[in-house]
Amino acid sequence: MSKLLTKNEIGRLTGVGAENAEEQKRVLDKNRIPYVIKKDRSPALTWEMVNQAKLMQINNSSSNGQTPQIPAGINMSAING
């Protein structure tokens, strides 16, 4: 079982303050990264969820052979550790 990201990790990933759950959810939705809602209404997710979502976006990109662009708002250095 995967460990959930901390509020600070989600904040780093989304570029939104750790206590701004609504804006974090908006950024995650915009970038098609799945999450679940905790009792406090904040998003909960794992790095596996992030990585799988990004891999699916890359694999489903246009077939013209171009390298897909990672959407704005995603902190790739946080994803890569």
Give average pLDDT by consecutive 10-residue segment, the chain, 81 residues: 88 94 96 95 95 82 56 70 60
Q: Is residue 28 part of a domain?
A: yes
- What are all long-range contacts of 70-78, with beta carbons under 8 Å and residues at least 24 apart? 71/30, 71/31, 73/14, 73/15, 73/27, 73/30, 73/31, 74/13, 74/14, 74/27, 74/31, 74/33, 75/12, 75/13, 75/14, 75/15, 78/9, 78/12, 78/13
pLDDT computed for residue 9 by the predictor: 95
**What integer pLDDT is reported at residue 70 of this predicted model?**
64
User: pLDDT value at position 56?
Assistant: 82
Q: Is residue 24 part of a domain?
A: yes
Residue 37 maps to a domain:
yes
Residue whose structure tokens are 């250095």: 77
Number of domains making up the chain: 1
In a domain, 62, yes or no: no
Is 66 part of any domain? no
- pTM > 0.95: no
Is residue 63 assigned to a domain? no
Task: Give backbone dihedrals phi and psi of 44, rounded to 5 degrees, phi first.
Answer: -130, 130
Instruction: Give residue 20's domain range.
Output: 7-56+71-80
